[in-house]
Structure formats: structure tokens, C-alpha cells
Amino acid sequence: MAQVTLSSGLALECECHGEAGDPPVLMVMGFGAQLVSWPREFCRRLAAGGRYVITFDNRDCGRSAHLDGVDAHLEEVQAAVQSGDLGRARELAPYTLSDMAEDGLRLLTALGIERAHVVGASMGGMIAQIMAIEQPERVLTLTSMMSTTGEPEVGRSSPEALEALLAPEPTGRDAYIASAETWLLWHSRRYPELEETRAIAAETFDRGLSPEGTTRQLAAMLASGSRADGLRRLRVPTLVIHGLDDTLIAPSGGERTAELVPGAKLLLVPDMGHDRPRPLWPELCAAILEHTARD
């Protein structure tokens, strides 16, 4: 692992797998999740397929820079969004998903990479979509996993999954690891992988939690609004992957993403939830490697 200081002055923690001369694949993680949520063996499988795989902690997460003391203004952001005043919501939020997208592109620049394949999961898929919409010259291909378009009528969470996602995090290590069992609400029903989930929770806790940072990320998602118009104009080759068991972002989010992006390929995966179960790695990695086998 290494910490890289961007041109903005923000520092991001990143981890790279494979040979630097191979085609780069930037992996963008989701809401409140650290780079360890991309299993290292999954990344090494992609690297073995001839890719230079880059994972990183988003701002306000893990070992990357945190905006400590900056108020998320979450209730005011929510009220502005509900009233239809997205401009006001963006003024109130400490940052938006566009700022987080810029972080990822600046990381590539700092690593000496001009263009990359971009793979994003959940909120990371939203960030990856924005990279492709706002700076398509930097994105060779887009893979949007278990994500959605920002349109409120698609990709809705089940009430139980949303409640578990937004519940306060336990402050003790053992309690936090035990609480990972609630993540199974949105995992694959066939492959829940509780022990693997607990292992990720343990490493996440040890690397550092930031409830305030997670709240700022939530404000960024709320304030960023719909990407539908940008996705309609997108000409970056796009693969959309979504699990049919996903209760955190319903499959309609992935289906709508593929519907909007011209020429997008949609892969709906049975027995996959809002996760990446090990038995599905061969299928998932093969799809990503095939999609990124282009200049």
C-alpha cells in the first residue's frame, strides 16, 4: 500500500496489483467501504489476466484524507433535495460525487496514467459513471457494478437493507465485526459468506472507521442527483453488472443504466447480491477481462 498526494493536496491510500506496463484498471469502491472490500484475490485474478489493478480508499474513508470537522449538513441537504432544489443541496454538501470522481482521475495522473479502464461498485459505480461522463477522454471503458443512475424511481433499497446500511456503527471492534452479519441482508442468498464478511469487517475496523466521513459521503450522493442525461450522451464502451439478489440497489438500477447508455452490455448475475461471492469470481473476472480487452 502507498499514500499518494494528489495535485489538489488531498492524499489517497492506494494498492496496486500486477505489472505497471499492463492496461490499467481503476477499481472504485462504494459508500463507506474501504479498498479492502475489493478482495485481494479477486484483484490478483484480474492482474493475472494481464491488467494493472489499482484500488484505493475514497476521501473520508479508510487511510485516505478525511475532512475532519466539516459539517455534512445532511438534514438540510435532504430537505433541499426533497424540495427539488438540487443547486442548494450542492451548495450545502461538503463535496459531490463529481469531486470524488476528480479524486480518482487525479490519482491516475499522480501514478503517471493518462487513460484507464474504470470499474466501480455501488457508489463507486456512480463515481465511475461520472468519470466517464465528465472526462471521457480519460476512460477507456466503464464497468458499472451493482449501481444505479441517480433517478429515485429505480434501484430502490428494501426498507430492511436501507435501515441496516444507515444504522450507527458499533464503536468496539468485536461489536463491529459481529454487526457484519447484518450485511448479509443484501448479500447473495446462495453464497452469504459470513466468515469472509467478518474478515473484511475486522480489517476495515483496524484500518480506521469514520462515521462523520460516511455521513459526508451520503450528503455527496444525495446532492449529486440524476446522471440520466449524461448517461444518454455517453459513448464510452460500457458493461453493467448487477446481481439479481441485490436488495441494497435493486436490479432495476443496473437495468436502467444499461438502457440509457448507448450500446451498453448488461450482465444480470443469478445468486449475486450486493457483493462478489467467491464462487462467482470466474464469471465476474472473465466479464471484466473481456470488456477491458480493448485500447
> From first to last of its 295 residues, what are the pLDDT tens digits of the chain?
799 999 999 999 999 999 999 999 999 999 999 999 999 999 999 999 999 999 999 999 999 999 999 999 999 999 999 999 999 999 999 999 999 999 999 999 999 999 999 999 999 999 999 999 999 999 999 999 999 999 999 999 999 999 999 999 999 999 999 999 999 999 999 999 999 999 999 999 999 999 999 999 999 999 999 999 999 999 999 999 999 999 999 999 999 999 999 999 999 999 999 999 999 999 999 999 999 997 6
Per-residue DSSP letter, 114: S
Fold type of domain 2-156+209-291 = Rossmann fold (3.40.50)
Give which of 182, 179, 181, 206 is closest to 195, Cα–Cα. Answer: 181
Cα separation values, 24 from 34, 112, 116, 178, 238, Å: 20, 11, 5, 36, 16
Q: 0.85 exceeded by the pTM?
A: yes
Domain ranges of the chain: 2-156+209-291
63-114 per-position pLDDT tens digit: 999 999 999 999 999 999 999 999 999 999 999 999 999 999 999 999 999 9
pLDDT given for residue 294 in this prediction: 72
pLDDT given for residue 4 in this prediction: 96
Residue 187 to residue 131: CA distance in whole angstroms: 27
Phi then psi for 58, rounded to 5 degrees? -60, 165
pLDDT given for residue 286 in this prediction: 98
pLDDT given for residue 226 in this prediction: 97
Cα separation values, 42 from 9, 75, 234, 273, Å: 31, 38, 28, 16
pLDDT given for residue 101 in this prediction: 98
Q: Which helix (H) or strand (E) holds 221?
A: helix 211-224
Residue 215 to residue 189: CA distance in whole angstroms: 29
pLDDT given for residue 295 in this prediction: 63
